[in-house]
Structure 1
Amino acid sequence: MSIDSRRSLRTEAPLVVALIVLAVLARLAGRGEVTIDMRTFYAWYADLESGGVWHSLGEEIGNYNAPFLYLLALTTILPGPMVLKIKLVWVAFDLLLVFFTYRLVALRRPGRRIPLLAALVVALLPTVVVNASFWGQTDAMWAGFALAGVYFLLRERPWLAVTMCTVALAFKPQGIFIFPLLLLLAVAGRLPWRTLLAVPVVYVALCLPAFLAGRDPIELLTLYDPGRQAIHVPNLTSNAPSAYAFFPVDVRVDSVKSLGYVLAAALVVGLCHVLVARRTELTPDRVVLAATTFAILLPWTLPGMHERYFFLADVLSVVLAFYRPRLWYVPLLVQAASLLSYGPFLFGRKAPLIDLMIPAALMLAALIVTTYHLVRRPLSSGQPTT
């Protein structure tokens, strides 16, 4: 390391430490918040404790998958107030997000300075700070493993990449948002089809402790059935800045939902077809661009989404900006749309602070930009990629 590099590190170290301290303090600020979501986890926590943890894992508790219940069971043996130890486990997955943000950006921008900057941006991203420490929610769990999947895809470690994506899906159904990227790479010949065998194997393996504890395998393996999930989100959107903000209908909702699922699948397949048919070179920056596009496209077109379900898009759009600096405004659009839709939670209002169509339009703008750059013809070999 050169003398100038050492001096630079010494100069920047206090700033980095200050930013880390701020990230920690921001999370401590919400440590005492007990939301409706947290009260739900309290009820599941009580069910796990009352029947004995091992026996209770064999029962149908809540509507989250078995890996989440394993973590909740872990909190029952930790010391301290319930709210703090649950949030501590949830916030630990923020570290997973930050770690793989650093590793992903380091692949494109060697050195420490820029990857560390990207990691700190994600650590201080408002929706990331709010999600676990204030809201008590768990979106960093599935999003962190999805981000790990993208990293290992770029490292050309396909089995590990598919495993990480499957772990994301096992934690929450929103993990499916990263699977169109696997489909694209498989169809394009960049991902061996046989690696997709890891999906059922890993998924069932993660559920195995619950099966051994006595849980009905059919009930658990069909937990993500859209019909069962729709019970919890009866409307077309649960304040998500999605396409359904423009169509606030309350009739024939089930039929519209069915059409929405078909539309989302058609758009994913169509986009993959266009990219493969045009023989688009799937360079690392285009892979990150595709991952970001799918992370926006699916929650924007699927019905029954919560505002939190753009969480992966929030993080991937930041990574994208470090891969393609000219798209610096995409994370601003995505973050603004996500954060504006958080209004009812943040301020305890039944209605959004602003018309939901505004953040939905911002998210649509981000989707149009990423899709355009994804499908457009690549630059000539003599031009640098930005």
Structure 2
Amino acid sequence: MPQATGVQPRATAGRVLRGRSQVLVIGAGPAGCAAGITLARAGVDVMVVDRARFPRPKTCGDAISNHAVARVEQLGALAEILEGPHALVRQADAVFPDGSRVARVYQRPGMIVPRLQLDAALRGALGRSGANVVEETSVRELAPPPEPGAVGYRARGPALDWRAELIIAADGPGSVAWGAAGRPNPRGRNLAVAATQYLEGVRDLEGVSEHYFEHDLPCGYGWVFPSVDGVANVGVYQRADAYRTSPGHLRALLRAFLERHHERLAGARPAGPARSWSLPLGPAAWVGTRDLLLAGDAGFSVDPLSGEGIWQALETGIMAAETARDALAGAGLTPRLQRAHARRCTRRIGVHCRLRAAVQDGMRWFVDRRLYRSAWARTGLQWAYGRGALEQSKTV
């Protein structure tokens, strides 16, 4: 079995890595690292596999809420992040089409950290935790136990044939677990799309993240985040059912956003190509099945209002690991333990996702009817926004 020291290469060319462990975690992003670290610290024999070789870039908005920062510190990765490129976020502004704003100040700062650095730091903490880690190794198939009453899955890929008592799927959108469990891909209100463009030379509002609510981005927004080493992450986000009725392609919406705010972005230059990605939104319809748990984007945990997913990935990764630990210490992932895990995920993530999806619909109504022009309406919004009403991933 591979050892957990340093970066582990994939199986030798032409050979298949075979073995078994108590838990197999698929994916070494934030959710997978959180799960792997939690399990290794509990003394569980855990293998983590990822199809990529780290460090690797990842398309993202790069924002980490202050609660996510606390989780990253708990997992042992914050010190490395603080030594690298990052920006602090001390304030957030909601900006409306007439230029009016409502603002809030965070009790503790959040951060902007490129995913290259964030994921590398978490990957390093994973290796130090004692987990077994193999990179450049994908899982294409999850085979359930062949007989009723048997325990564990068999994970197969081009260079992998692995058995585990429990699987935690943390492999993002399109997870191999979705097919294994016969679950459809998310759509409509359970899916969002986003596009981002790194820009150099953006005039910084130091420590302020800006969220622009626009008429052509219903159930979404555009953003300008604080620069990291002179490069700002700028993008657009929209729920899929609203995007489907939009007149333009996602990248056309991004171009329109950049052009509409040409004064704000005067002098800015592209620092790379525009990139897009999809986000499975909470609340999750399911968080696992027999001997199989989901975490992160694979578990439909992204915040519908903001599109934030890092805190949710860390949180669901830790919760899945704790449930796996309890299953191994007891009678396995019994129906009772599955229900308890589902209730915990609902309380921690799902309830807030439902509430924030309702707020998202309300923001669409607020912008469509141009209520941002009303002083009393802005005062009410400032009261709620400034207090951090319905926030789960950050403290205001």
Q: Same fold (TM over 0.5)?
A: no
Normalising by the residue count of structure 2, what TM-score does the alignment of the two structures yield? 0.32
Higher RCO structure, 1 or 2 (CA under 8 Å, sep 6+): 2
Give the number of the structure whose residues are more often helix, by fraction: 1
